[in-house]
Chains A and B, each alone.
Chain A
Amino acid sequence: MARTKRFLNGAAKDAFLKQVLAAEPGLDEATRERLALALQSSIALVSLRCHSGSEPASAAGASVETTDTAAAAHEPDVQNTAENTPPATATEGAPFDPYSPNVIVVFRTLGRDAALAELHAIEDIDCLRLLAREQRLGIASDLADAADIRRAIVAAAERRIANRRAAAS
């Protein structure tokens, strides 16, 4: 039987990594979560280097390449409302998951650079805007450059974190 290739992004990538880690004996839930997050970030950083270096960006971007078998069970749970139809990425054909990466979680666990690196895997400006909207990370509407939008998203995440912290005690 022919094995077709799929490129995972967003929640599907997250789920795939967790599935792989789940098969490893002796890892508790918290460790699996931490490793999955670290792997996601590392993959994004590799992707960032590919994009900024001489090597042409791969079709996969920051995706994890795998087979249909593993991917089929982990489709992202995006809401396909009329108001919120996620743009499909040209390279992958799969719906964009605006809830992944979770910018706040990446920022808090791995830092600003990692959050920015994760966002570099998203090239489409509409996807970045959708992610910002769905994750409630307010950005200026007049930003037109992807790099500016990514920076604005990360800055908004930082403000959200500070906001919560200020209210906590």
Chain B
Amino acid sequence: MARFLAIANRKGGVGKSTIAVMLAHASAAWGKKRVLLVDLDTQCNASLMLIGGERWDKARRAGRTISDYFFDRFDKVAEDESHYVAANVGDVAHPRASPGRVSLLPGSLMLEDVQGELYLKQAKRGSNPDKVAQDVRNRMMRLIKHFGHDFDYVILDCPPGLSFAALAAIDLADQVVVPFRPDYVSQFALDRVALLIERVETADQLAAVPFVDRRYICLPNYVTGKGRERLLIDEIALDHPLLQSRVPLLDSVARAFDWEESKKTMAEKYGDALPHLRALHDEVFGAATWLAKAG
């Protein structure tokens, strides 16, 4: 069964999709893992990074996106979910003999609408709104979980906010990586998402959960090295577990996500960001890491 890794933060613009795609590429290339990226964000950025606009458009016209999958399979047991998956995506070349590949369940602009429809559909079966919402989340969770049989890692690129899909992904995940930009408002967002992930309601309850037992770990992203960032990261480290890795603000990272048809090596794709990605990969997926230990 696959390990499920969610990349989540209620705040937008913190680099969730970027980190999700980087980790997917790294795990397939270096870890030789079969990776599925599930794009739960209606912006569909991870999908566009991995298959480009034209192929994504074909996928949505063919009804092969995450919202189609949720809608089609909501009431049925999934039989052939691979129908919805785009295989061997991304523009990193993998040796033919290596099992390492990235696959994608493409994102959809319609996911929020579909969630509304599924809620209404479910509401006809029961009147308690909280229970209806929980049922929708549970069904989504089961549907995502179904992919666990065919992959080593399932990376869940969560949308900002608290949609049913985001909550289902956070609930399902074995571990959650929470990227954040080291700025003033990020600490508020981290505090809130941490409560959600740990299923507690107050800061005191969260503080009672030892770092080693927490299901999430935070990743400082877009780090520029300024002194103010150091202050904030040190402050955040008092309340939340942090990865040692830092992803700096580099042009090479931004450039890496311009979709190109031609396959390339990891070094060609990520340029001077490569050592940072390597460190992040080793920390997240390495044999002795928190993700491996989470089982």
The yes or no verdict on A and B being binding partners is: yes
B191–A79 contact, CB under 8 A?
no
Q: Does A78 contact B (CB under 8 A)?
A: yes
Report whether over half of chain A's contact residues are helix, strand or loop; otherwise say mixed: helix
Report whether over half of chain B's contact residues are helix, strand or loop; otherwise say mixed: helix
B227–A168 contact, CB under 8 A?
no
Residues of chain B in range 189-204 having any CB-CB distance to chain A below 8 Å: 191-192, 195, 201-203
B157 CB, nearest partner CB in chain A, Å: 26
B201–A169 contact, CB under 8 A?
yes
Q: Does B88 contact A (CB under 8 A)?
A: no
In the complex, which residue of chain A has the Cβ closest to the Cβ of B212? A30
Q: Which residues of A contact B203 (CB under 8 A)?
A: 165, 168-169
Interface string of B173-217 (1 = CB under 8 A from A): 000000000001001100110010000011100000001000000
Pick out which of these stretches binds chain A: B28-36, B95-103, B163-171, B228-236: B228-236
Q: Which residues of A contact B231 (CB under 8 A)?
A: 99, 102, 104-105, 135
From B211, B225, B234, A77 is in contact (CB under 8 Å) with B225
Total interface residues on B, using CB and 8 Å? 21
Total interface residues on A, using CB and 8 Å? 24
| A104-B235, A105-B234, A109-B238 given; A168·B225 CB < 8 A | no
Q: How far is the CA of A29 from the CA of B234 in the complex (A)?
A: 13
From A99, A109, A136, B184 is in contact (CB under 8 Å) with A136
Q: Does A134 contact B (CB under 8 A)?
A: yes
- 7 further A-B pairs in the complex, CB-CB below 8 A; given A105-B231, A108-B235, A164-B188: A77-B230, A97-B227, A99-B228, A99-B231, A105-B235, A165-B203, A169-B195
